[in-house]
Amino acid sequence: MQSYINPQSKKVVIAVGGGIAAYKVCELVSKLFQSDVEVRVVLSNSAQKFITPLTLATLSRHQSYTDADFWQPIYSRPLHIELGEWADLIVIAPLTANTLAKLNYGMADNLLTNTVLASTCPVLLAPAMNTDMWEQSTVQKNWQELLTNSRFYGIETGSGLLACDRIGAGRMAEPAEILTYIQSLLHTQGKKDLIGKQILISAGGTREYLDPVRFIGNPSTGKMGLALAQAALHRGAKVTLVHGAANWPVPLGVKGIAVMSAEEMQRVMLENMQDADMIIMSAAVADVKPRDYSSQKLPKRSLPENLPLVQVPDIIAQLSNHKQPQQILIGFAAQTGDIITPALEKLQRKKLDAIVANPIDKIDRGFGSDNNEAVFLDKQGRKIEIPACSKLEMAHCLFDFVV
């Protein structure tokens, strides 16, 4: 059985633009260092009005660079050339309207923009500005045009209360979301192999209620489905995420549909599968539900000693029955002990294109964990073992496997 994990080079330039959202970059740089990523920070002149080079140098454990360094002949080679060639990825956060316009027209008048032009690696953009500024037709034109360049990736702005007290679009993505995108780009090295594809993903556990406060369920948190949605989005796909109860936000750019029961999930999955190129059933669906439901909370003394149960719909079997020849259907098999034998049986019985067999009886694996390990199997007989890694890394490995 082949074992696979993608080796990563992890060298990231963080380029900080001028805006109050620059304070969020401190957390991002700190998290990157804790993730064993080498970081170099470049600050524009306006960025230094909001945050100091010393702060980011301390967090990155390396000198931060400004235009004062750019114009001083103290390096053996030009600084922007050294940084551009060194980087596996450049992240510009916050991206201002001014820097956006310069990038779109190939202009370079400071260390930040010269470093971008002197590089060939992917560039991740996290814009932040006032709502009226962000919605200006000229700004949107620059944004859309720049994203047609295969080097550039953009994180959508969020909506909420801005520093100007305006409530609307233009809020920079949170550090955790930027960090996830960085991890994706370090894995894929910038390839967008899912552009034009529509991916339908289910995530999390379903709940089958006995009354308004009691249900049959499982410990699934939906983190694996969330990671699949993030990975697909970062590789260029349009993603619909059908999820059970979750304590995480749906990523910007992903269409999220919340459901509760297996019947709700089945209905929504069938409604959305027609246009999907790939369907991934990673949700942990309950197998049974109480036969009878009470709309009022049952007193403890009224709970039955033997609870009558009935089976819930077999969602993946229904998806398989409705699948078109060009569609790819992938299932998950969470198992204890021997994980491969039951997964192979499910692969064949449900007529799946591939299946992910993952153990749930190991420490820091499976339900609720940030990590996972698995064996990928497909109908052609391929079998690849994925050692313990983050769920985001596993999601990318799965797309590598099926794409």
User: How confident is the prediction along the chain (403 residues), in pLDDT tens digits per residue?
Assistant: 554 555 567 999 999 999 999 999 999 999 999 999 999 999 999 999 999 999 999 999 999 999 999 877 666 789 999 999 999 999 999 999 999 999 999 999 999 999 999 999 999 999 999 999 999 999 999 999 999 999 999 999 988 877 887 888 889 999 999 999 999 999 999 999 999 999 999 999 999 999 999 999 988 999 999 999 999 999 999 999 999 988 899 998 999 999 999 999 999 999 999 999 999 999 999 889 999 999 999 999 888 889 999 999 899 999 999 999 999 999 999 888 899 999 999 999 999 999 999 988 887 777 888 899 999 999 999 999 999 999 999 999 999 999 8
Architecture of domain 198-402: 3-Layer(aba) Sandwich (3.40)
Please answer whether residues 191 and 233 qualify as being in contact, where contact means their C-beta atoms are separated by less than 8 angstroms: no
Q: Do strands 167-171 and 255-258 pair parallel, antiparallel, or not at all (unpaired)?
A: unpaired
- Quick check: 206 and 260 in contact, CB under 8 A? yes
Quote the CA–CA distance of 49 and 361 in Å, as a whole number. 51
CB contact at 8 A, 264 and 283: no
Tokens of 95: 């991206």
DSSP 346-368: HHHHTT-SEEEEEESSSTT-STT
Which active-site residues does the annotation give? 164
- Cβ pair 312, 286 in contact under 8 A: yes
Identify the bridge partners of residue 329 per DSSP, sorted by sequence position: 279
Cα separation, 76 vs 53, whole angstroms: 22
Domain 198-402 in the same topology as domain 2-188: yes
Cα distance between the two ends of the chain: 19
10 Å CB burial of residue 187 (0-12, 13-18, 19+) is buried
Domain-wise residue ranges, the chain: 2-188, 198-402
Q: Look at residue 393 and give its three-state secondary structure.
A: helix
Integer Cα distance of 351 and 279 in angstroms: 13
Tell me which H or E stretch contains 378.
strand 371-378
Backbone angles phi, psi at 388, to 5 degrees: -55, 130
Phi, psi of 384 (to 5 degrees): -125, 130
CA-CA distance, 217 to 235, in Å (whole number)?
32
Nearest to 93 by CA among 12, 22, 171: 22
The pTM assigned to this predicted structure is 0.90
The CATH H-level superfamily of 2-188 is: Flavin prenyltransferase-like (3.40.50.1950)
